[in-house]
Amino acid sequence: MTEAARDTKSARTRRRVVDAAAHVLLRRGYAGTRLADVAEVAQVQAPAIYYYFSSRDELIDEAVAVGLDRARSLVTEALAAAPADAPAIDRLAIAVAAHLRTLLTHSDHAAAAVRTVPQLPEAMRERHRQAQRDYVDVWRALVAQVREEGDLDPALDPGTALMVVLGALNWTAEWWDPARGSLEGVIDAAQRLVRDGLAAAEEP
Amino acid sequence: MTEAARDTKSARTRRRVVDAAAHVLLRRGYAGTRLADVAEVAQVQAPAIYYYFSSRDELIDEAVAVGLDRARSLVTEALAAAPADAPAIDRLAIAVAAHLRTLLTHSDHAAAAVRTVPQLPEAMRERHRQAQRDYVDVWRALVAQVREEGDLDPALDPGTALMVVLGALNWTAEWWDPARGSLEGVIDAAQRLVRDGLAAAEEP
DNA sequence: AGCAGTTTTTATTCTCGATGAGAAACCGAG
DNA sequence: CTCGGTTTCTCATCGAGAATAAAAACTGCT
């Protein structure tokens, strides 16, 4: 009651604006995101945005924050739903699938955040460092487990390998076209590449 | 003689402008590339750009064209320098190294082109379709060879796998920091992941 | 009716690509 | 070396489009 977590009309409008911002951000990038476009998508007059946010940057900032958080929580939830005692390499495959699903079909926010962060002005990127780190840390932990279980090629540096893998996933947003390949196809390819790519060589 | 391929001062200035455009493009994206910034990097007054190019888009267009061409030719050259009869999987590893070197240290142009193309306005992207295809085709051919030689996991769709791999490479530009990891480290990790990721399962 | 919260209308200001009128640098011929 | 022409670039400024501010109008709730 004290908190305005209630789903009032105002809250819904505000959410529509943030959603619209993510939508535009995803397609146009940071510099290309115009308030007029956001307003149109959100079904609002442009200046109305200023009732909720005091500047364009503040809006974008929030959209990115929501996106990073969502990316992390969706992956985390997928992992929570899996048997906790499954081999780490299997849990990693689950994370791969969750990440791709989120990025490619579930959340404009997550996709926008992941793809836009690198273009943000330094000050703003700084503000999201922590969230970004939190997100990557989920993965780091997974990779560490994989290593403990002896399923990681010892010649691979875990940190570098992880970034290469995440890159493969993130870039899918640039080329994947729902009209062409199926989402499942991409997930399958990514999972295979990650599994076999990270895998320790077979016993000789 | 007939052609002005000579390295006149004018040609050098022009090149500086294109270089600067690539530099800014790489960091700010298409919409964020302002002529004022390009001019500053190129050590020129902004309107001077109009002596060489008739519009912002024309400048960006050229920067991208140069970049795509360079990306392709650097990989092609690296392949040409390798023994033609080496196993395709080894040649692929060579291409991976060349691509990463180009992207990360050799050429702002190539990096800008590769990473910016998806953001370009449709009309402009259209103009570069062919160049992009030429570039990807080099890789496609490599993967096809790998498959013919039986080193590709038959469960992998070659096209999808290729895009996933290229994504891993392209995204390195977002996170690799020369001050931290060594370039060789990234190359090594990427090569291992690609080799083992694509590899057909060992004989049972 | 009257008021708080919300949204639109109208104005203002800023940013940035573009242009046009020449200034400066360069170059070849006498 | 100097004069005229050409190439290269600068300065001042315009104008469109965008962000933001201010004010007015609307909406439902009591």
- Given a cut of 70, whether residue B4 has pLDDT beyond it is no
Identify nearest nucleotide to residue A49 by CA to C1′ distance. Answer: C7
- Given a cut of 50, whether residue B2 has pLDDT beyond it is no
How does the average pLDDT of chain A come out, rounded?
Answer: 93
The distance (Å) linking the CA of B203 with the C1' of C13 is 71
- Helix H segments across B82-157? 88-101, 108-116, 122-148
Identify nearest nucleotide to residue B34 by CA to C1′ distance. Answer: C16
The distance (Å) linking the CA of B193 with the C1' of D24 is 63
Q: Name the residue with higher pLDDT: B47 or B201.
A: B47
Residues 6+ apart with CB under 8 A from A187: A96, A97, A100, A101
**Predicted local confidence at residue A71, as pLDDT:** 96
Nearest CB partner across the interface for A196, out of B31, B159, B197: B197
CA dist., res. A24 & res. A18, Å (int): 10
Q: Which residue from B76, B163, B160 is spatially nearest to A189, judged by alpha carbons?
A: B160
Identify nearest nucleotide to residue B4 by CA to C1′ distance. Answer: D7
Domains of chain A with CATH codes: 9-198 (1.10.357.10)
CA dist., res. B27 & res. A192, Å (int): 32
Q: What is the average pLDDT across B142-164?
A: 97
Residues 6+ apart with CB under 8 A from A147: A158
Are B156 and A28 an interchain contact pair (Cβ–Cβ within 8 Å)? no
Please, which residues 108-147 of chain B have a Cβ atom closer than 8 Å to chain A?
A: 118-119
Nearest CB partner across the interface for A160, out of B119, B164, B181: B181
- Identify the three-state secondary structure at position B20: helix
Nearest CB partner across the interface for A156, out of B166, B192, B201: B192
- Among all residues of chain B, which has the CA nearest to that of A116? B29
**Predicted local confidence at residue A84, as pLDDT:** 87
Summarize pLDDT for B91-138 with one digit per residue, the tens.
999 999 999 999 999 999 999 999 999 999 999 999 999 999 999 999
CA dist., res. B61 & res. B107, Å (int): 16
Q: How many CB atoms lie within 10 A of CB B177?
A: 6
CA dist., res. A189 & res. B152, Å (int): 12
CA separation, residue A121 to residues A7, A51, A168, B27, B32 (Å): 33, 24, 24, 10, 10
CB A196 within 8 A of CB B155: no
How does the average pLDDT of chain B come out, rounded?
Answer: 94
Tokens of A13: 């409008």
**Predicted local confidence at residue B203, as pLDDT:** 47
Out of A75-89, A174-188, B6-20, pick the least confident: B6-20
Taking contacts as CB-CB distances below 8 angstroms, the residues of chain B near A153 are 192, 196
CA angle (B154, B159, B165) in 5-degree steps? 95
Summarize pLDDT for B173-203 with one digit per residue, the tens.
999 999 999 999 999 999 999 999 998 665 4
Residue with tokens 């691509």: B99
The dihedral over CA atoms of B81, B85, B86, B87, expressed in degrees to the nearest 10, equals 140
Residue with tokens 């395709």: B88
Summarize pLDDT for A114-160 with one digit per residue, the tens.
999 999 999 999 999 999 999 999 999 999 999 999 999 999 999 99
Taking the whole predicted model, whether its pTM rises above 0.75 is answered as: yes
CB B112 within 8 A of CB B64: yes
Q: Name the residue with higher pLDDT: A199 or B67.
A: B67
**Predicted local confidence at residue B7, as pLDDT:** 77
Percent of chain B scored above 70 by pLDDT?
95
- Given a cut of 70, whether residue B167 has pLDDT beyond it is yes
Q: What is the average pLDDT across A84-106?
A: 97
Q: Name the residue with higher pLDDT: A8 or A173.
A: A173
Are A168 and B165 an interchain contact pair (Cβ–Cβ within 8 Å)? yes
The dihedral over CA atoms of B156, B157, B158, B164, expressed in degrees to the nearest 10, equals -80
Nearest-Cα distance to chain A for B201, in Å, is: 9
